[in-house]
Amino acid sequence: MKVTVVGAGAVGASCAEYIAIKNFASEVVLLDIKEGYAEGKAMDLMQTASLNGFDTKITGITNDYSKTANSDVCVITSGIPRKPGMTREELIGINAGIVKAVSSSLIEFSPKTIIIVVSNPMDTMAYLVHKSTSLPKNKIIGMGGALDSARFKYRLAEALQGPISDVDGMVIGGHSDTGMIPLTRLATRNGVPVSEFLSEEKLSEVLEATKVGGATLTKLLGTSAWYAPGAAVSAMVQAIACDTKKVFPCSVLLEGEYGFNDICLGVPVVLGKNGIEEIVKINLNDAEKATMVESAKGVKAVNDLL
């Protein structure tokens, strides 16, 4: 399994590190436009191999896409992150051009690859890759829901004062401060609905904290987060590499599913060797459906800016 990660910045390097530590890929290529930067990150990461016990070979390159040839999975993290006070949507002006050019260069050398889009505004960037390339829909996957769900579980465990490993839950909808939909009704603590333990008021606090999870970290860090984003991407790459058929909420092109068309939006999917193996349909209640419609409206408005 050869994985290319474009953008050797905070998220790209974290993603490469987690992929290597899990030791399931033979090769990770890190590519960046900044001269020597990916080479430096790759060398630093390779010097952790004997300490962390992995055999994955990480190489760094400056903008030479021929070195990415025949990648099974390509991850796009290139582009600018937001600063405190900004929304992800404000990044579209710079990131759209970068994502379009990068995806086209990747496909030139790896025409059969699966692309995972990370750069923000992610749902719109995933849609842009659909519109500007001829990759089939199962091979273009936006990463947002896996990260948002991890943050949801963190907030639920905090409210429950219990271990995160006891908690399950999912966030669907757009990857934005207002568009995320943490499914509190379906979240569980060791199989028991969390509503058995938490008041409506507490659940609504968890929901709100989850939705602004990225903004909260951006305010604390001065730039957006990278550890959990890198871990979320690596978990998705592992599901594809090892054909696990695990379910992750991902931003995928909808063609009638959940009542939407011509939009990339976060819904649960089965990930395996073909990328998106299946879009999972879950029964949403009327309130959840209405929130999903609002979330889709927000994403469409950003798509219209392309």
Ligand X SMILES: O=C(O)C[C@H](O)C(=O)O
Ligand Y SMILES: NC(=O)c1ccc[n+]([C@@H]2O[C@H](COP(=O)([O-])OP(=O)(O)OC[C@H]3O[C@@H](n4cnc5c(N)ncnc54)[C@H](O)[C@@H]3O)[C@@H](O)[C@H]2O)c1
Distance CA 169, CA 248 (A): 11
Residue nearest to ligand Y (CB): 9
* Nearer to ligand Y among residue 231 and residue 284 (C-beta): 231
Q: Which of residues 127-156 bind ligand Y (CB under 6 A)?
A: 143-144, 147
Distance CA 251, CA 149 (A): 13
| End-to-end CA, the chain | 33
Query: Which of 56, 110, 119, 303 contacts ligand Y by CB under 6 A?
Result: 119
Q: Say if residues 42 and 30 touch (Cβ distance below 8 Å).
A: yes
Distance CA 96, CA 199 (A): 42
* Contact stretch for ligand Y (CB under 6 A) within 9-17, 22-30, 51-59, 194-202: 9-17
Encoded one letter per residue, x for contact with ligand X by CB under 6 A and - for no contact, window 76-95 reads -----xx-----x-------
Give the residue among 187, 180, 217 at the shortest CA–CA distance from 202: 187
* Nearer to ligand Y among residue 79 and residue 198 (C-beta): 79
Of 175, 233, 251, 271, which one is the catalytic site residue?
175
Which distant-in-sequence residues (6+ apart) come within 8 Å of 269 by Cβ?
141, 247, 248, 249, 250, 252, 276, 277, 278, 279, 280
Count of residues for the chain? Answer: 306
Tokens of 171: 């966030």
* Nearer to ligand Y among residue 189 and residue 211 (C-beta): 211
Encoded one letter per residue, x for contact with ligand X by CB under 6 A and - for no contact, window 190-219 reads ------------------------x---x-
Tokens of 210: 């989850």
Q: Which of residues 125-164 bind ligand X (CB under 6 A)?
A: 147
3-class secondary structure, 30? strand
* Contact stretch for ligand Y (CB under 6 A) within 16-24, 31-39, 151-159, 201-209: 31-39
Our answer to whether residue 130 is catalytic in this structure is: no
236 contributes a contact to ligand Y by CB under 6 A: no
Distance CA 99, CA 132 (A): 10
Q: Say if residues 265 and 240 touch (Cβ distance below 8 Å).
A: no
In the complex, the smallest distance separating the C-beta of residue 220 from ligand Y, rounded to whole angstroms, is 14
Work out what residue 65 binds among ligand Y, ligand X, none; the CB cut-off runs from 5 to 8 Å by kind.
none
In the complex, the smallest distance separating the C-beta of residue 252 from ligand X, rounded to whole angstroms, is 17
Locus of tokens 């952790």: 48
Q: Say if residues 233 and 256 touch (Cβ distance below 8 Å).
A: no
Catalytic residue numbers, as ranges: 175
Q: In the complex, which residues of this chain contact ligand Y (CB under 6 A)?
A: 6-12, 32-34, 37, 77-82, 91, 95, 98, 102, 118-120, 122, 143-144, 147, 175, 223-226, 229
Q: In the complex, which residues of this chain contact ligand X (CB under 6 A)?
A: 81-82, 88, 120, 147, 175, 214, 218, 224-225, 229
